A and B are shown apart, each in its own frame.
Chain A
Amino acid sequence: MSSRLSKESILNNLLIRLGVAGIFLYETIQSLFIPPYSLNLLLKQILFVGARSILVIIIAGLFVGMVIALQFYDTLVRFGSVSLLGSAVGLSLIRELGPVLTALMVIGRTGSAMCAEIGIMRVDNQIDALECMAIDPYRYLIFPRILAGVFCVPILTAIFIVVGIFGGYFVGVILFDVSAGSYFQNMNDTVLNRDLLMGFIKSIIFGLLIVWISCEKGFNLHLDKNGAYGSEGVSRITTEAVVIASITILFSDYLLSALIL
């Protein structure tokens, strides 16, 4: 009996959380229609989400491309098909690893910072202060972040993929003497527009999900009944935001792949 009650209560809480997150997104979209529009706020967020993440993305992309090439080379060489190395690296980066790993890097670097920043603003009454100054916090705080996420994550993903392909080139062509022509020619033959579109759609949706989850957790910190409200609360919801966003990305990656393929 008590286990049934507890299951019902978990389901109830989950539905409430989803409802609160849904209202948050609805309010954010609605704020799009409330002027004034500030290009400065958007540029500031693009700088934070995009420009300041480039170095991390380049480093991650390079090593991921190198390790994929290494693993695929080791497998393909057994079947005498090393000429397919470019296809294998390109397809895995463009379809799956590029969008997913870029999203996970953005969650760690940007999503956690956004969640903590907005959570602290909630604790320090700064969000209430915005409301009292007749400034819609959804328009002022959330909308520029969501737009920056949707705009920057696809660009970061593209950078990750390109750098990853060159990382693979370094391992395959320079270290293991795979022909440079076959590396790129096979990639060109097997990667279709549909694959590029899949990577692009995924990265846009991931950008939206990361910022939505991270900002919502910080913004609605006061509605969270699981523990302390102050600095401990900020620390808890930041961890939760990273975990929930990461799992959501992995789950939605499968869902999107299943839908598009």
Chain B
Amino acid sequence: MIKINSQNVLEVSDLNTWYGDKKILSDINLNVSHKEIMVIMGHSGSGKSTLLRYILGLEKTKTGLIKLLDKEITNLNKKELYRLRKRIGVAFQSGALFSSMTVRENIELPLHENTELDEETIHIMSRLKLELMQLSGTESLMPAELSGGMLKRAGLARAVIMDPELLFFDEPSAGLDPITSAHLDNLILQLRDALNMSIIVVTHELESAFKIADRIIILDKGKIIITGNKKEIEKSKDPRIVNMLQRRAISNSIDAEDYLNRLTRK
């Protein structure tokens, strides 16, 4: 069990967001410590990805407080926000690689744009990250030539190329087979141990969450219904959590006779 440092790399308090009149996130309070792996879980539409967008400053909020690496992001101007983002890495669900660039060009892009390192050093850094992701030999391939798992790993390589202090990973297991998914889970653990990163993973894969998380947050309809470690989650009596643990669908069963009546009703 990893010892969690008391210094928080992320603090969110009283975050409420709306889309038009509809409330998307309600009273979100969370914190992530140094070298901690925090998993944000919930079923589709629960607000996981929206929460991630607010934490990353991709959406602006007027309520609540979001403190990322000791900076209150809601008060930052564009220049300060970009300076802060150089210290974080984000791996997107689809990989979000640029289709007109090779894998190497994609991975080296943050170094080319944000540092003044020479070409040779940049090549060495990208080669090391590709080796870490077991993607050696794919440097000159285009993203369209990669499989789903390789795309995610290439996206992850680009996210960690600047050795960020905090890594965000959106849906690492989505659309992958169990073996590739397990490989990505191992990679996330390795990154925390080898590169001393704090990691926030957004997922709906229970197995993956239990394997990698120090703490898990479960969202339902935009609200945090529980925060805790694997044991605390398993002990919960909340029916929504019990259903999720037992992989039960939300009850919307229809009586067969009623269904037939509705179907034949004029």
- B98 at the A interface (CB under 8 A): yes
Given contacts A128-B58, A129-B90, contact A135 B110 (CB under 8 A): yes
Chain A positions 108 through 136: 1 when the CB is less than 8 Å from some CB of chain B, otherwise 0: 00000000000001001110110111111
Interface string of A125-149 (1 = CB under 8 A from B): 1101101111110001000000000
Q: Number of B interface residues, CB 8 Å?
A: 24
Contact A125 to B114, CB < 8 A, known contacts A132-B56, A134-B83, A134-B85: no
Docked CA distance A125–B92 (Å): 8
- Contacting A133 at CB < 8 Å: which of B58, B79, B93, B114? B114
- Nearest-neighbour CB distance to chain A for B44, whole angstroms, equals 16
Interface membership of A227, Cβ < 8 A? no
Cβ 8 A contact of B88, one of A34, A129, A132, A135: A132
Does the CB pair B58–A131 fall under 8 Å?
A: yes
Q: Are A133 and B109 in contact (CB under 8 A)?
A: yes
User: Are A132 and B114 interface neighbours, CB within 8 A?
Assistant: no
Tell me whether B96 and A136 are in contact (CB under 8 A): no
Q: A80 an interface residue at 8 Å Cβ cutoff?
A: no
A123 → chain B closest CB, angstroms: 9
By a CB distance below 8 angstroms, the chain A residues around B83 are 134
* Given A36-B113, A128-B58, A140-B113, also A133-B94 (CB < 8 A): no
Given known contacts A133-B110, A134-B110, A135-B110, A128 and B92 CB-to-CB distance under 8 angstroms: yes
- Bound Cα distance A133, B56 (Å): 11
Give bound CA distance, A176 to B158, whole Å. Answer: 65
B94:A125 contact, CB within 8 angstroms: yes
- Chain A residue, CB-CB nearest to B106: A129
Contact across chains for B82 and A136 when beta carbons are under 8 A apart: yes
Q: How long is the Cα–Cα vector from A140 to B97 in the complex, in angstroms?
A: 15
Please give, as numbers and ranges, the residues of chain B lying within 8 Å of A136 by CB-CB distance: 78, 82
Q: Which of A125, A131, A134, A135 has most chain B Cβ within 10 Å?
A: A134
Residues of B within 8 A of A125 (CB): 92-94, 96
Across the interface, which residues of A come within 8 angstroms of B82, CB to CB? 134, 136
How many CB-defined contacts (below 8 Å) exist between A and B? 52
B86, CB-defined interface residue at 8 Å: yes
Give bound CA distance, A136 to B114, whole Å: 11
CB B151 to nearest CB in A, in angstroms, measures 11
Q: Say whether B85 contacts A133, CB under 8 Å.
A: yes
A126 in contact with B110 (CB, 8 Å): no
Chain B residues contacting A126 (CB-CB under 8 Å) are 96-98
Question: Is A132 in contact with B94, judged by CB distance below 8 angstroms?
Answer: no
Contact A135 B114 (CB under 8 A): yes
Cα distance, A121 to B86, chains bound together (Å): 21
How far, in Å, is A29 (CB) from chain B's closest CB? 14
Residue A134 contacts which of B86, B93, B98 (CB distance < 8 angstroms)?
Answer: B86
Chain A contacts for B89, CB-based, 8 A: 132
Residues of B that sit less than 8 Å from A by CB: 53, 56, 58, 78-79, 82-83, 85-86, 88-90, 92-94, 96-98, 109-110, 113-114, 158, 168
22 contacts between A and B (CB under 8 A): A36-B113, A126-B98, A128-B53, A128-B58, A129-B90, A129-B92, A131-B56, A131-B58, A131-B85, A132-B89, A132-B90, A132-B168, A133-B85, A133-B113, A134-B83, A134-B86, A134-B113, A134-B114, A135-B109, A135-B110, A136-B78, A140-B113
